[in-house]
């Protein structure tokens, strides 16, 4: 049984006051006991992680994540933040390989392998993102594009994988991100099954069955239930809709409804 998970990726949005207000609103409105049924993660800008964590205004059990993490523990890397620093300010998760990092910062497999490895070594749970572009999908090359991005996981040492809850995979088709055109439930399920087969080939069936695979790309309260109903979709990685606390609460409630049987 895989516990549903909803992850807010705020990207480069919100002022510090807005981030703190959101955390306070979530604390006031999140139904008691929800975190026993759904894992909830908030990924603010780096700069806002520490104040949100240290002010302790998030509801108990709601965790913080970073939107990226470096491949080294420390060193001469101007402008970067290491997994150890993130851990130090009570970050629990790190998004690695988001398509915006791949596209705007040229991140590719060798670098992402380093980021995954160092994050896990530092005790962060990676949320590793893969997703095909529109051209790949239109050319019938969706699986080919995903296979190339996934291959790095075959190299990840098994020493880190003793607990399946310590790794999350996110399927985010690039054409669905921020466009309002989410993948259909059928498209998401087809890809998630394929990704789980790849995980099985890398890590074995037990690990693959226990690893949560979340969908991301234009998730909204009116489309999430059908996606969550898919047998191999274990949660959502949410951009735009996660900026609004009311919408985010609705998504959490939908994920909670999908907790059975996975």
Instruction: Name the active-site residue from 98, 100, 107, 132.
Output: 98
59 is a site residue for ligand 13P (CB under 6 A): no
Cβ closer to ligand 13P: 122 or 241? 241
Tokens 């009311």, located at residue: 246
| Closer CB to ligand 13P, 83 or 216, in the complex | 216
Alpha helices, DSSP H only, in the chain? 16-29, 46-54, 83-88, 99-105, 109-122, 134-138, 142-154, 185-203, 205-210, 224-228, 245-257
In SS3 terms, 138-166 reads as HCCCHHHHHHHHHHHHHCCCHHHCCCHHH
The contact mask relative to ligand 13P for 211-250 (x = CB under 6 A, - = no) is: -----xxxx-----------------xxxxx---------
Q: Which is nearer to ligand 13P, 84 or 213 (CB)?
A: 213
Size of the residue set binding ligand 13P (CB under 6 A): 14
How far is the C-alpha of 85 from the C-alpha of 83, rounded, in Å? 5
Instruction: Decide: 126 and 120 in contact? Cβ < 8 Å.
Output: yes
Smaller CB separation from ligand 13P, 57 or 243: 243
Rounded least distance, CB 12 to ligand 13P, Å: 12
In the stretch 94-113, what mask flags binding to ligand 13P with x, by CB under 6 A?
----x---------------
Beta bridge partners of 102: none
**Distance of closest approach, residue 5 Cβ to ligand 13P, in angstroms:** 13
Which whole-number Å values give the CA distances from 101 to 11, 19, 67, 69, 209, in the listed order? 11, 22, 9, 11, 28
- Please state, in angstroms and rounded to a whole number, the distance separating the CA atoms of residues 222 and 158: 39
159 catalytically annotated = no
98 noted as active-site residue:
yes
Backbone angles phi, psi at 244, to 5 degrees: -105, 115
Which of 92, 81, 86, 99 has its CA nearest to residue 166?
92
Looking at the chain, how many residues does it have?
A: 262
Binding of ligand 13P by 178 (CB under 6 A): yes
**Does residue 44 interact with ligand 13P by CB under 6 A?**
no
Q: Which of 150, 177, 195, 255 binds ligand 13P (CB under 6 A)?
A: 177
CB of 237 to ligand 13P, least distance (A): 5
Q: Which residues are catalytic?
A: 98, 172
> Which positions lie near ligand 13P, rule CB under 6 A?
9, 98, 172, 177-178, 216-219, 237-241
């Amino acid at each position: 049984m895989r516990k549903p998970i909803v992850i807010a990726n705020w990207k480069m949005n919100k002022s510090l006051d807005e981030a703190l207000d959101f955390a306070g609103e979530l604390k006031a409105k999140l139904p008691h006991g929800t975190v026993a049924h759904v894992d909830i993660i908030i990924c603010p800008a780096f700069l806002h992680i520490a104040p949100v964590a240290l002010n302790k205004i998030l509801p108990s059990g709601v965790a913080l994540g970073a939107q990226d993490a470096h491949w080294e523990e420390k060193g001469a890397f101007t402008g970067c933040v290491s997994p150890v620093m993130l851990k130090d300010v009570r970050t629990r998760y790190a998004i690695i390989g988001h398509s915006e990092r791949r596209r705007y910062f040229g991140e590719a497999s060798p670098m992402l392998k380093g980021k995954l490895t160092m994050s896990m070594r530092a005790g962060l749970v990676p949320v590793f993102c893969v997703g095909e572009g529109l051209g790949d999908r239109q050319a019938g090359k969706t699986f080919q594009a995903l296979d190339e991005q996934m291959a790095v996981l075959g190299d990840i040492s098994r020493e880190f994988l003793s607990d399946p809850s310590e790794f999350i995979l996110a399927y985010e088709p690039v054409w669905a991100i921020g466009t309002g055109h989410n993948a259909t439930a059928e498209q998401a399920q087809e890809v998630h099954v394929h990704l789980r087969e790849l995980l099985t080939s890398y890590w074995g069936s037990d690990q693959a069955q226990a690893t949560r695979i979340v969908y991301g790309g234009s998730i909204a309260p009116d489309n999430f239930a059908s996606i969550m109903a898919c047998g191999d979709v274990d949660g959502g990685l949410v951009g735009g809709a996660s900026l609004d606390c009311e919408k985010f609460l609705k998504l959490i409630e939908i994920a909670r409804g999908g907790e059975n049987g996975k």
